[in-house]
A and B are shown apart, each in its own frame.
Chain A
Amino acid sequence: QVHLVESGGGVVQPGRSLRLSCAASGFIFSSYTMHWVRQPPGKGLEWVALISDDGSQKTIADSVKGRFTISRDNSKNTLFLQMNSLRPEDTAVYYCARDGGGDLPLDNWGQGTLVTVSS
């Protein structure tokens, strides 16, 4: 079955960088658009970024534009989120999620990885 496993979270100082990974299995990774969604502690969900199946199209939320970059390595079935110039307000659980395609939205999610931005 579909399995998504995020890694790379941790505690980082403001202004520093962090790279998140999402390892995918159980489906043909290169056929699906993928997303990152985040959730600050005790708050709601915020969409962050998406990347098309072949990596040619990327869209980033305005709140992180210019600081975060989404990418993927289809040969390794892995999705990435490069986060630069981190701010305390970026503190959240970061989820990767598969876009189901067609009429389907985000149909499978990873368990999330916590990023804490604090001095």
Chain B
Amino acid sequence: EIVLTQSPGTLSLSPGERATLSCGASQSVSDKYLAWYQQRPGLAPRLLIYDASSRAIGIPDRFSGSGSGTDFTFTISRLEPEDFAVYYCQQYASSPITFGQGTRLEIK
């Protein structure tokens, strides 16, 4: 099983700032099958990024992803008020599918 470790656990920033989140894998994630999800309180997760760097349909271009192998990064270039939420990385390269423990992005 691939274990994903996200950092930091909590990130405190202000609207307009840049957010950078990390996701490390215990073994290489083949074919870059790494995704990022956003979860706002009380709502289901929403797919933002797949294949490590491809934006899902309807996702604004301020959201981006990069990385390969065991190290992945998710960036929000300029934070909007609605971006403050919890973010999860997920690998779907091998079974079982696994998620990171999440990064909480909070307003400073």
Contact = CB atoms under 8 A, between A and B. Distances in A.
Interface of A: 35, 37, 44-47, 50, 59, 61-62, 95, 100, 103-112
The SS class assigned to the A binding surface is: strand
Given A45-B45, A105-B50, A106-B47, 14 more contacts: A35-B97, A44-B101, A45-B102, A95-B44, A103-B33, A104-B47, A105-B47, A106-B35, A106-B45, A106-B92, A107-B50, A109-B46, A111-B44, A112-B44
Contacts of B46: 109
B95 A59 contact: yes
Interface string B61-80: 00000000000000000000
B98 interface: yes
B35 A109 contact: no
Range of interface residues on B (Cβ < 8 Å): 20 to 34
B34 to A, nearest CB: 9
Contact of A44 (B44, B50, B88, B95): B88
Contacts of A110: 44
Contacts of A45: 37, 45, 88, 90, 99, 102
A51 to B, nearest CB: 13
B45 to A, nearest CB: 6
B57 to A, nearest CB: 8
